[in-house]
Amino acid sequence: MRIDGRKNLEFRNMEFKLGYLKYPISSVLGILGDTIVLVSVSVSESLPDFCKSFGHGWITAEYRLLPGATEIRNPNIINSRAQEIKRLIGRSLRNAFDLYKFPKSHIIVDCDVIQADGGTRVACINAGFIALVHAFQRLMKSNIIQENPLKYPIAAMSFVIENSEILLDPNYIEDSSADVDINIVVNNQKNIVELQLTAEKNTIDKHTLNNVIDIAFEKASYIFDLQNELFGLGGVEIV
Domain residue limits, the chain: 14-234
Mean pLDDT of 166-181: 95
Q: Could you tell me where the beta strands, DSSP code E, fall in the chain?
A: 14-18, 26-32, 35-44, 58-65, 106-115, 154-162, 165-168, 180-187, 192-199
Residue 66's pLDDT is 93
Report, as an integer, the average pLDDT of 146-160: 95
Percent of the chain scored above 70 by pLDDT? Answer: 97
pLDDT band at 37 (very low <50, low <70, confident <90, very high): very high
pLDDT of residue 78: 75
Kindly report, residue by residue over 108-129, the tens digit of the pLDDT: 999 999 999 999 999 999 999 9
**pLDDT over 60 at 167, yes or no:** yes
pLDDT bin (cut points 50, 70, 90) of residue 32 is very high
pTM for this model (two decimals): 0.94
What long-range pairs does 197-205 form, CB within 8 A, spacing at least 24?
202/161, 204/161, 204/179, 204/180
Residue 6 above 50 pLDDT?
yes
Average the pLDDT over 191-212 and give the result. Answer: 95
User: What pLDDT digit, counting tens, does each position of 70-109 carry?
Assistant: 988 988 777 888 999 999 999 999 999 999 999 999 999 9
Q: What is the mean pLDDT of the chain?
A: 93
Q: Fill in the amino acid letter for 140.
A: M
> What is the average pLDDT across 213-232?
93
CATH number, span 14-234: 3.30.230.70
Average pLDDT, integer, range 139-151: 93
Mean pLDDT of 158-171: 96
Q: What is the pLDDT of residue 233?
A: 46
pLDDT of residue 232: 67
Give the gyration radius of the chain's Cα atoms: 18
**Averaged pLDDT, 166-179:** 95
Q: Percent of the chain, pLDDT > 90?
A: 84
